[in-house]
Amino acid sequence: MNNLNLSTTLRTTLSCLIAFISLNSIADEDSDIDKPYSNLPVEQVSNLAKAFDLIKRNYVEEVDDNTLLKYAIEGMVENLDPHSSYFDTQSLKSFNDSTTGKFTGLGIDITMEDGFVKVISAFDNTPAQKAGLQSGDLIYELDGQLIKGLNLKEASNLMRGEIGTTIEVKVKRPNRKQPITFNITRDEIKNTSVKHYLLTEHIAYTRISSFQVETSNDYTNAILELKKQAPDLKALILDLRNNPGGLLKQAVKISDIFLDEKLVVFTQGREAKSKENHFSTMNTIAKDLKLIVLINPGSASASEIVAGAIQDHQRGIILGQTSFGKASVQQVLYLDETSAIKLTIARYFTPNGTSIQANGIIPDIIVAPSVVSEKSDNNYVSESQLSGHLKGDDNNITTNKYSDNQKNLIDDYQLQQAFQILQGVIILQ
State how far the Cα of 308 lies from the Cα of 310, in Å rounded to an integer. Answer: 6
Last residue of a domain, one of 190, 213, 229: 190
Percent of the chain with pLDDT over 90: 59
Same domain, 357 and 228: yes
Please list, in sequence order, all residues whose beta carbon lies within 8 angstroms of the beta carbon of residue 82, skipping any fewer than 6 positions away: 111, 112, 113, 152
Q: Is 91 in a helix, a strand, or coil?
A: helix
Tally Cβ neighbours within 10 Å of residue 177.
6
Window from 74-88, 97-111, 133-147 with minimum mean pLDDT: 97-111
Same domain, 304 and 349: yes
> What pTM did the predictor assign?
0.79
Same domain, 184 and 238: no
State how far the Cα of 151 lies from the Cα of 71, in Å rounded to an integer. Answer: 12
pLDDT for 321 equals 98
pLDDT tens column, 155-191: 888 898 889 999 999 999 988 989 999 999 999 887 7
Same domain, 185 and 234: no
pLDDT tens column, 276-333: 999 999 889 998 999 999 999 999 999 999 999 999 999 999 999 999 999 999 999 9
Identify which of 338, 294, 284 has the alpha carbon closest to the alpha carbon of residue 319.
294
Q: Are 224 and 283 in contact (CB under 8 A)?
A: no
Same domain, 150 and 291: no
Same domain, 138 and 206: no
State how far the Cα of 297 lies from the Cα of 347, in Å rounded to an integer. Answer: 19
Identify which of 352, 309, 301 has the alpha carbon closest to the alpha carbon of residue 327.
301
pLDDT tens column, 336-364: 999 999 999 999 999 999 999 999 999 99
> Per DSSP, what are the bridge partners of residue 294?
239, 319
Mean residue pLDDT across the chain: 87
Q: Hey, what amino acid is at 23?
A: L
Count up the domains in the chain and report the number.
3
Same domain, 118 and 216: no
pLDDT for 424 equals 95
Last residue of a domain, one of 143, 175, 190: 190
**CA 417, 421, 422, 423 torsion-angle sign:** positive
Distances (CA, A) of 2 to 41, 45, 46, 50: 18, 13, 10, 11
Q: Is 247 domain-assigned?
A: yes
pLDDT tens column, 181-202: 999 999 988 777 899 999 999 9
State how far the Cα of 309 lies from the Cα of 279, in Å rounded to an integer. Answer: 10
The set of catalytic residues is: 301, 312, 326
Dihedral angle over CA of 63, 66, 71, 72, nearest 10: 120
Same domain, 139 and 246: no
**Residue 135, domain CATH:** 2.30.42.10
Same domain, 227 and 251: yes
Domain span at 115: 104-190
Euclidean distance between the first and final Cα of the chain, in Å?
79
Q: Is 426 domain-assigned?
A: no
Window from 25-39, 134-148, 250-264 with minimum mean pLDDT: 25-39
Same domain, 332 and 231: yes
Same domain, 207 and 162: no
Please list, in sequence order, all residues whose beta carbon lies within 8 angstroms of the beta carbon of residue 172, skipping any fewer than 6 positions away: 116, 137, 138, 140, 179, 180
Q: Is 114 domain-assigned?
A: yes
Same domain, 185 and 202: no
